[in-house]
Structure 1
Amino acid sequence: MRDEASLAGLTPVSTGVVATLQVLTRAIAAKAVVEVGTLMGASGLSFLEAMATDGVLTSIDVEADNQLPARAAFTKAGFSSSRFRLIAGSPIDVMPKLRDGAYDIVFINGDKLEYVEYVASALRLLRHGGLLIINDALWRNLVADPEDESDEAIIIREALEAVSASESYTQALLPVGDGLLVAVKD
C-alpha cells in the first residue's frame, strides 16, 4: 500500500509510523478506530492487523478514489467488509455524525489545513483512556520553526496547542515519521 500511495503521488505513512500505530492499537486493545484520511489504506491496514478480530475501522476521506485501493487491500489481506467502514466525504461533515465516546483511537492524517477542526471533534469521539494520534505533527520540520508562516505549519501548531491547552489529554510528541503526537484522553 505504501508503494501504491507513492506512485499515486501521495505521501504514505512511514514504516516507523505503521509500527507505532500497531503497538499503540494492541497496547490499549482497541476495537473501534476512526481514521481521518484513508490515503489508500496503509495506516488503516495497520489498525486492522493490530485490532482484535471484532475490531472495526472507520476511515473517512474526502477523495473516494483513495478508498478503492484501500478496500481492495483490506479484502486481499483477508478482512471482511464488516471490519471496516469507508466513508467518502468531508471529515468535518462526517465526524459530528459519529457516536460520542465510542472510539478507542482517533488517527488524524487528513487535510493539514483542517487539523484544528479534527482535534476538536476527536475529543468528543474518544472514550476515556482513548488515544488521539496526530500524524505529521512536525510537518517537514516547519512546525517547530517559529519563523515559518506557511499555512500548514500554522494550522498544525494551532492543533498541537489546542491539545496542549486541553486539560483532557496527557500527551507526548514522538520523533517517528514526520512527528507523531500521541495524547491519552483523561
Structure 2
Amino acid sequence: MGANLEITEKLQSYIKDFSFELNPIQQEIIDYNKTLGEIKRMQIDPTQCYFLHLIIKVANIKSVLEIGTFTGLSALSISLALPNDGKLIALDKNEETNKVAVDFFKKANQDHKIKTIIKPAIDSLEELKNEKFDMVFIDADKMNYKRYYENSLHLTRKGGLIIIDNVLWHGEVVDEKNNDKFTVNIREFNKFVSDDHRVEQIIFPLGDGMTVCRVL
C-alpha cells in the first residue's frame, strides 16, 4: 500500500523544478516573508499555490472570497489563475500587512481583479451576505473557523468550493496529549465538517493540511 511522503526541503525543491514556474511576484512575496521571522508561518506553502491555481482553472472559478490575506501570496495565486474578468474579494483586519499585499498585487498587475476590505472578517461577511461566490478560501484566525465556515456556506453557490487551510495544525490534531485550545478547536472543527451533510469534503496533506468542500 502506498504512503504519503515526508516532503523534505530537497524534495520541495524537486517539486518546484518540475512544476510550472511561479510568477516572479509570488516568489518575491515568499522571499519577503522569509524576513518576517516567526510570523512567516502565516504564509501558505508553495505547493498550495500550485493547487489553488489548478483547481481554479479546472473548476472554471470566476469569483472568489478570501478570508485572511496576510501579505498576499494566496490572494495573488488565486488572482493569477482567474480569468481577466474574474474577481477576488480579500478580507483581512491588519492594515499594515494589507498595504504590503496591495503593493504586490499592483506590481503583478492583478489589482484590477482584487478588492481588499480591511476590518474584522465577521463584519465583512455580514455585509457580503447577499453575494454569491464560486469559491471561498478560509485562512484566518482559527478560533472563528466554524463561524467563517457557516457564513461561507451561505455565500457559496451550489457546486462551489470552500477550501480551509491549517486543518492538520502542524500534525498536532492527532496528538492525543495536546489539548491546547487551538488544537482542540481545529479537531472539533474537522469533526463538524466531516459530519456536515451540506457538503462533501476531503483533507489534502498539502502545506499544513487543506480541507476542500463541495457545496451540495
What TM-score do the two structures reach when normalised by structure 1?
0.94
The letter of the residue matching 1:7 is T
Where structure 1 has 5 or more consecutive residues not aligned to the other structure, the ranges are none
Matched, 1:13 2:44: yes
Provide the residue aligned with 1:23 in structure 2: 54
Matched, 1:131 2:161: yes
Matches of 1:116 and 1:2, distance apart in 2: 29
Matched, 1:3 2:31: yes
Highest RCO, 1 vs 2 (Cα 8 Å, sep ≥ 6)? 1
- Match runs of 1:107-122 below 5 Å: 107-122=137-152
Moved more, 65-74 or 1-10: 1-10
Instruction: Give the C-alpha shift of residue 100 in structure 1.
Output: 4.1
Matches of 1:59 and 1:106, distance apart in 2: 10
Matches of 2:125 and 2:66, distance apart in 1: 10
User: RMSD over aligned Cα, in angstroms?
Assistant: 1.3
Identity of aligned residues (%): 30
SS class of match (1:140): helix
Structure 2 counterpart of 1:145, from 169, 175, 188: 175
What TM-score do the two structures reach when normalised by structure 2?
0.81
- For residues 128-173 of structure 1, the C-alpha deviation after alignment (integer angstroms, 9 at most, x for no partner) is 1111111111011111223321111111122222221211111110
The letter of the residue matching 2:34 is S
State the structure with more CA Rg: 2
Matches of 1:174 and 1:101, distance apart in 2: 28
Matches of 2:53 and 2:44, distance apart in 1: 13
